[in-house]
A and B are shown apart, each in its own frame.
Chain A
């Protein structure tokens, strides 16, 4: 034991001596660092320098590509002919010499003053309610009927519907959540193929979401005397089992209450009901007169309907478009608008008890498979 102390002391002494006098950890001599001067120039000076500096690409610009092979064969052809004199009119046909082809005087294509660009007052007995509820996109401006129209009735409908929902769900967080809940959840989940059986499971997800509940089946570890194990292991075996489910259930119930509509808007539209609506619209969606570019443009159109399923013509507006230009989108939108108005004139075949589901609709008009 004593020898060990001796050896250790000697080794430490040697180490200290080596550190102090051996220069083991001494830093190597530093090399002189060259510091370039930094000159501050103004933005204008920098711009001037940049302009004066020629772009390297311009210097390296390759010469023009070699002329194509046929050009090399050009010498084989005879020298260019001088413009030949025109054959005299005597060689022309004798009697059929036409009059000057554009014998028609060119009409003035510009509109003249006597045509009023402002449209006449609409004499329709049912003036279309224009859309104070929805802002018209800029491209729709010329289409809007010139005469101001009364506010659409939907403005008044929305407010009363929303108010009771808020009142019936006092614990609900924000009011708009409760208001919109029943309308869109099924749509987001599966807008095309969702069935009635699939959609309710999503709304019930809140009630079944608490995760700790299955855990009780797991065998509880035996209590061990070592405190190290308890420190390494999670504390969940020590957690009282009934507490977590009870909390989660309460949270889930509160959220479910918050999201539950108070006005009972009814179940979402079934697939068959949506298909009925699709068929009704597409039967009037006449794309025959559209340009090929307009046919390839996908437009999304918003429309609000009354309880009879009739569209509020003033609410129809283009929400967006893709795969086209403003001009083609406008043409496509006009065709879509005609389809909605024409076939909705007598009301779309929609269940009135689910009015909250289809009060507002966004229809995307997308022609698949159009070649040209």
Chain B
């Protein structure tokens, strides 16, 4: 029995011993701070005599891209302790730590004739190490902005872990004139409002442009025949053609499928609006809904297997999801108010929508099963969301109230932060964000 008591005593002691064998102290951090990451961008080094102008401009565009996300905060150059005069010179991390720069971007520009070369490096200052390898882009001097966007995309991606969206374009409706006699025309610009160009004239009202997955074609609705009709426009040649024409029916709300060949749209015939699917290569058409209610605003899921759309089949305007070939639809919106213009995120995880409730308009997002609805904006009139290529930012139309109310383009992070106006000259509406350019 003594032996038994000895063993029992040892076993009783053993758990305590086991507990004390673990080494480090363990704590859990359950909360952080949400603030822009401070970064420093040293003026890009001009490697030859003609590169000075380009170096400064490219530096400013990169900095503006990053700061414009709301995720980064540029440290003013006046606070710099070190200067970077040689792209290959060692980085004095202590100097950048002293000004609390968590990331450092250095670069160099060289211009040979009409060809500009941009290279950059990104450093994790507090890790005393580069963040990824150096990269270099080369191209025509007329494309210097795209090269700056490429650099910013790469920096953004390396820090956040998700793709960038700076080297992309936006098609929208440029508006002019009073509200009761508004002139509308299609235009295209860089995501930041630069390089603005018109795609159509103002002879007919145009609505709801949608850009193809390859970025070279645009679907839109035009009233040039007196009633709404879908057209497809080639961005490069400006050639266009009507799509889905069926007698005197009205066609509208088109959107490309992920293959760029399939188009879904709404068609109103005999007072009933349903969703159709069109193969633009063969002209084959398929009716996807046949309810007596109004079904419109279809949007493909990124994998092309499902379509989200709006319908008033339940008595109020709500969001539904159905298979891409048609079939039984599943309602996903159940909140108060009316839901419309759903758009599937490029990442496939969220659906953006317009919501009208109690006299206010909202841009919101929800998961594809309708859960976690979050309203990002609220104003007199917000509508028509479109996703950035990385699914992180939403651009939409905001119109101010009153006689002189004008529509404008705004963007907002899906967290609801960083709401800002897109710099577009004049009134603008119906943005459609392109994929990232190749």
A: which residues have CB within 8 A of B?
A: 67-71, 73-74, 76-78, 80-87, 89, 91-94, 96-109, 111-112, 114-117, 119-128, 142-146, 176-177, 180-185, 187-189, 191-192, 202-203, 205-206, 209-212, 235-236, 239, 243-244, 247-248, 251-252, 255, 259, 269, 274, 277-278, 281-294, 302, 313, 327-328, 330-331, 334-339, 341-342, 345, 357-358, 360-368, 371-372
Contact = CB atoms under 8 A, between A and B. Distances in A.
A183 B22 contact: yes
B30 A361 contact: no
B93 A124 contact: yes
A86 B20 CA distance: 80
A202 B16 contact: yes
B3 to A, nearest CB: 9
Nearest to B244: A81
B286 A372 contact: no
Kindly list the 5 A-B residue pairs having the minimum CB-CB distance in the complex, ordered from nearest: A104-B143, A93-B201, A107-B137, A331-B161, A70-B326
A202 B17 CA distance: 11
Contacts of A142: 129, 132
Interface string B136-148: 1111101101110
Contact of B235 (A101, A334, A357): A101
A259 B6 CA distance: 17
Interface of B: 1-2, 5-6, 8-10, 12-13, 16-17, 19-37, 71-72, 88-94, 97, 100, 102, 118-119, 121, 124, 126-140, 142-143, 145-147, 150, 159-162, 169, 185, 188, 195, 197-201, 203, 215-216, 235-247, 276, 279, 281-290, 323, 325-328, 350, 365, 372, 374, 392, 414-415, 437-438
Contacts, number: 394
Which interface residue of B188, B284, B286 has the most chain A CB atoms within 10 A? B286
Nearest to A99: B197
Given A89-B238, A112-B136, A269-B25, 14 more contacts: A77-B287, A83-B283, A92-B238, A93-B201, A104-B145, A123-B93, A180-B22, A247-B5, A248-B5, A252-B9, A252-B13, A286-B37, A366-B30, A372-B350
Contacts of B147: 104, 107
Contact of A313 (B27, B29, B127): B127
Given A209-B12, A341-B126, A342-B126, A367 B30 contact: yes
B71 A103 contact: no
B120 to A, nearest CB: 9
Contact of B25 (A85, A103, A109, A183): A183
B36 A288 contact: yes
B29 A84 contact: no
A112 B138 contact: yes
Nearest to A338: B126
B24 A183 contact: yes
Given A92-B240, A125-B94, A372 B415 contact: yes
A98 B365 CA distance: 34
A145 B128 contact: yes
A212 B129 CA distance: 63
A144 B216 CA distance: 43
B179 to A, nearest CB: 23
Contacts of B289: 70
A328 B160 CA distance: 9
B425 to A, nearest CB: 14
A191 B28 contact: yes
Contact of B128 (A77, A292, A313): A313
Contacts of B36: 288-289
B129 A289 contact: no
A322 to B, nearest CB: 13
A93 B197 CA distance: 12
A192 B162 CA distance: 33
Given A107-B139, A210-B5, A185 B20 contact: yes
B195 to A, nearest CB: 8
A125 B94 CA distance: 8
Contacts of B195: 103
A252 B281 CA distance: 86
Which interface residue of A102, A281, A361 has the most chain B CB atoms within 10 A? A102
29 contacts: A69-B326, A71-B286, A81-B285, A87-B241, A89-B238, A92-B239, A96-B198, A96-B199, A98-B188, A104-B143, A106-B438, A115-B135, A116-B134, A119-B121, A119-B130, A143-B129, A183-B20, A184-B23, A244-B1, A247-B6, A255-B10, A285-B32, A291-B162, A336-B29, A337-B127, A342-B102, A361-B24, A361-B26, A372-B374
B161 A294 contact: yes
A336 B327 CA distance: 47
A69 B133 CA distance: 55
A363 B16 contact: no
A299 B78 CA distance: 36
A98 B20 contact: no
Which interface residue of A84, A89, A235, A239 has the most chain B CB atoms within 10 A? A84
A211 B244 CA distance: 88
Nearest to B106: A120
Which interface residue of B161, B246, B279, B415 has the most chain A CB atoms within 10 A? B161
Contact of B29 (A73, A286, A292, A365): A365
Given A115-B119, A209-B12, A143 B236 contact: no
Contacts of B135: 109, 111, 115
A323 B131 CA distance: 24
